A and B are shown apart, each in its own frame.
Chain A
Amino acid sequence: MALVDYQVENGIAIFTLNNPPANTYTYEMMRELDEAILQARFDSTVHVLVLRGQGERFFSAGADIQMLQQADPTFKYYFCLHANETLNRLEQTPKLVIAALNGATVGGGLEIAMACDIRIAKKDGGRVGLPEVNLGVLPGTGGTQRLPRLVGKTRAIELMATGRLLSFEEAQEIGLIDYIFEPEDFFKQVLDYARQFLPPYKASKAVGRIKRAVCTGIEVPFSEALALEREFQQQLFESSDAAEGLAAYVDKRVPRFRGL
């Protein structure tokens, strides 16, 4: 049984974290996630990535605590390093990544979700938070860095220091979750949402470069970020989608993008 089920459906790569009951992750699962991200990157038919958890109750409850308890400090260090590298790879992939939070999303589960670009939660599906402090550790897969970037420094510190879990509605209010969808046909609704970013109606290459400009640009000085933005824009100016987009506008017709 794969720990990350990977399948491609009509331009959308679907990653399912598959370690019931709580979809906790181990080094092995991170390796599979890493591999699946690379697969989606190289697959020119994939334009959007969607991550979800197996089952109805959990997106992911984070790292497997039993594994961490048994591992020596060196293993733990490299485990965290690899997990960081994997989530960075996800974040730096120039394709839109959507986290479908089908259940509780806590600890490392939320850290995975925060490395995605858009988070959509299933109404009343569970709670969300970074409770690592209760184990005497910190959120070590990017949590201390990505959470303040999403919700602000003070709020992030308070949430991580208390380890408080939030309802999806509260998380939405502070900008941690973007949308809450009804439970019935939740994943179908997520896929419907994701389809808007696919060619031929959306220039997915531009979507990917927008993402990259934001994700990298926000981390570097402003002048460098603007330079990065110009370079991405130049890539897009040279793309066939931009040619199609501009031409369609002038011709007053619907563009037919190809993601190129």
Chain B
Amino acid sequence: MPAKFRTFDEWVDLFYAWQDDIGLERSYFQDYRFEVKYGELPTQEILFGDFAGERRWESVREIPDQRIRDALLNYLVYQGDTEFASVEQQRTLFATAPSDYDLRALCRVMAEEMRHGFQMSHLLVEYFGTSGRLEAQKLLERRAFRKQRLLGSFNEEVDNWLDFFVYTQFIDRDGKYQLRMLSHSAFAPLARSTLPMLKEESFHLGTGNDGLRRIVRAGKIPIPLLQKYFNKWVPTAYDLFGTDESSSAHWGYVWGLKGRFDEDTNPTPADREHLNEYARSLFIAEIRDLTERLNRLIPEDQPKLVLPDEKFHRRIGRYAGGTYSVSGERLSPEAYAQHLAEVLPSEADKALVAELTRQPDWIAPKN
């Protein structure tokens, strides 16, 4: 299957065709300019790994080892795949936006996610020749709603605005971690790409966190119902950090492609055997703090929100496929199936969310 295009301008035509194909109303984005953006790197030096101290690579030809080129291509593909997938997941939310502000926020989030995919595709097309063009094309061919996206979170359904706010809180926050780890990359065009992406991503997480705070403040969505959406999304966010004791992450570090989240400020040597676990632990600490803040808004007589245990409902890593409860206890397969039915959103829960979110005051106004 040769790529259907030769230049990035031709890829852009495919990009607009993709928008039409997934049923995206282009008028929502008519004022948004899709463009490639690069930031300014603090240093031209490679910061970590076996090439530390050398000058960052400006082109693929400068990369000294084919395995690094292959791994870099993979990082771009996975990053790009998540960006387009999230737009596919959120594409049905326009009509149910709780306010004009939320509609504008949704449009901005989706436009920026598309721009991030646009940016990754640009890198693929401009730097990776035939292979890159083919991969950039495939980014527009897989579909989240056909469960073809490369990572589990991005094949889940985003049915309603509760999903949206929980998703942006946890899944987009994972995106922040991935982008920040790539921002230290030895491949300069990728590192420069991530800087504007990170700025834009911060709005997305803010939208999620703020949305959840407004929901809790309004007090119309029962906390146990909201908890089910935490149970749905948080384990997939844990999965997004990858396998435990990952050799891919290890090599990515050795090659200087993907550093630690805090690579530029952490003076200790990296534990290269447990890079994914380390990133996940920082993420968990961050979302635990955010969840505690949310809990402070919940009246005393109501249950509090909790993060699902790291073992619950995992598809990747040492707990993958394990039958653990949301609080981490081992269950029999039968009890686990029953437990899942109780703690994850059911069809009845979705119907309840649809009903509750039709009320005008289900979410507090944006301050």
Contact = CB atoms under 8 A, between A and B. Distances in A.
A164 B131 CA distance: 11
A134 B130 contact: no
Contacts of A183: 148
Contacts of B135: 167
Interface in A107-157: 123-124, 127, 129, 131, 133-134
B142 A165 contact: no
A173 B133 CA distance: 14
Interface string A166-205: 1101101100000010011000000000000000000000
A134 B130 CA distance: 22
- Kindly list the 4 A-B residue pairs having the minimum CB-CB distance in the complex, ordered from nearest: A169-B1, A163-B66, A165-B70, A162-B66
A124 B131 contact: no
Interface in B240-278: 243
A83 to B, nearest CB: 23
Q: Is the interface of B mostly helix, strand, loop or mixed?
A: helix
B67 A124 contact: no
B1 A134 contact: no
A165 B131 CA distance: 10
Interface of chain A: mostly helix, strand, loop or mixed: mixed
A127 B1 contact: no
Size range of the chain B interface in the assembly: 10 to 19
Given A127-B74, A163-B66, 4 more contacts: A164-B69, A166-B131, A167-B135, A180-B1
Interface of A: 21, 123-124, 127, 129, 131, 133-134, 162-167, 169-170, 172-173, 180, 183-184
Interface in B12-71: 65-67, 69-70
Contacts of A124: 138, 142, 148, 150
Contacts, number: 40
Given A124-B138, A124-B142, A164-B70, A173 B65 contact: no
Given A124-B148, A124-B150, A167-B131, A173 B2 contact: yes
Given A134-B66, A164-B70, A169 B150 contact: no
B198 interface: no
Contacts of A129: 70
A131 B66 contact: yes
A125 B138 CA distance: 13
B65 A169 contact: no
Which of B66, B67, B69, B150 has most A Cβ within 10 Å? B66
A134 B67 contact: yes
Nearest to A163: B66
B307 interface: no
Chain B CB within 10 Å, residue with most, of A21, A164, A180 = A164
A170 B66 contact: no
B320 to A, nearest CB: 11
Given A134-B65, A163-B67, A173 B1 contact: yes
A169 B134 contact: yes
A70 to B, nearest CB: 18
Interface string B1-13: 1100000000000
A170 B134 contact: yes
A162 B60 CA distance: 13
A109 to B, nearest CB: 15
Contacts of B131: 166-167, 170
A129 B1 CA distance: 17
Nearest to A127: B70
